[in-house]
Amino acid sequence: MDSIKQVLSIITWVLHTLRDAEHAVMVKEFITFLPPKLTGVTVLLTLLDAVKAQHVREESALKRVSHAAETNAIKELHRKRIDFFLSVKLTVEIAAKSRVAVKVQAAEILMPLLRAYKHIGRVGYDATTSLIENFLLDLTKPQYSASAAALNLAPITATLQSSNTELHQLWLARLSEIGMEMTIGNVRQTRPAVDRAVMTFVRTLDGLNYSNETVTKDPALKAKLEDAILFINSEVHARVNTLGHRGVKHPHPGSFFYDEIPALPPEEEGEEDHPSMGEH
């Protein structure tokens, strides 16, 4: 089993570069799915509790942004785009039960992709915007585009794209209206604390894994640590792909370590989204 050091050089960059809502979703995945994999590994579970405590503060700040910026128009557009996404999902599910072999085959190819985007509709506005953007981009990839065409998804996805873009523009305009600096201040203050807690956990996991491989050699512990490391690798690389969809690339692969992370940069107009994690 390779050491988690192979992702240490990018996990810090990923945590630093993700949009606020994307950051919160990734950390939520960590504190939800890692504890069951590490049952009985007290030191790591304690560190995950520390991550959870910081994440609670982050989510609270994000919800305050959401509630301040929300309008009836935004709520309605959000509901519509979720309905459009569910229409895509329903079309694929119906095709899976078709008697037409081509449709069944197309559905079998698209179902795993839909499962990968199960959080659409379960997270806040900006997180949903990013997920829908990535979903639509994935549909254009060679491995999915033919199947999407076979099920004639273009009219639905075009409507989904337009509603997603319209909401995103309305959301940014609303944030500007209420004062963007005021709304994102607390979020920007909570993220570094979350990142420090995450990296303390990751580095301790790496050290424990190395110690077990070279000294302790406990097979039960080895299985738990490897499961956790595989999960973290998967989560990090999924976020690298998310950023890649937007044309954001790691500036110096293999050389970006946590101690080098600067303060979060000023917002650039049109570049960074200001998300919410509240339920809608």
Q: What is the extent of the structural domain holding 216?
A: 5-68+185-260
Same domain, yes or no, for 61 and 191? yes
Same domain, yes or no, for 157 and 219? no
Domain boundary among 130, 148, 178: 178
User: What is the predicted pLDDT for the residue at 130?
Assistant: 82
Burial of 213 (0-12, 13-18, 19+ CB in 10 A): middle
Same domain, yes or no, for 14 and 26? yes
CA nearest to 196, candidates 22, 54, 5: 54
Domain boundary among 178, 211, 240: 178
Same domain, yes or no, for 52 and 96? no
For residue 179, pLDDT beyond 60: no
Question: Residue 42, Cβ neighbours under 10 Å: how many?
Answer: 9
Same domain, yes or no, for 235 and 250? yes
- Tokens 């994102």, residue? 184
Q: Is the pTM of this model over 0.75?
A: no
**Most confident option among 57-61, 73-77, 82-86, 186-190:** 82-86
Which tens digit of pLDDT belongs to each residue from 232-255? 988 888 888 878 777 787 765 543
Rounded to whole angstroms, how far apart are CA atoms 53 and 59?
10
Which tens digit of pLDDT belongs to each residue from 44-73? 999 999 999 988 888 777 766 555 555 777
Same domain, yes or no, for 119 and 253? no
Domain boundary among 178, 199, 219: 178
Same domain, yes or no, for 94 and 54? no
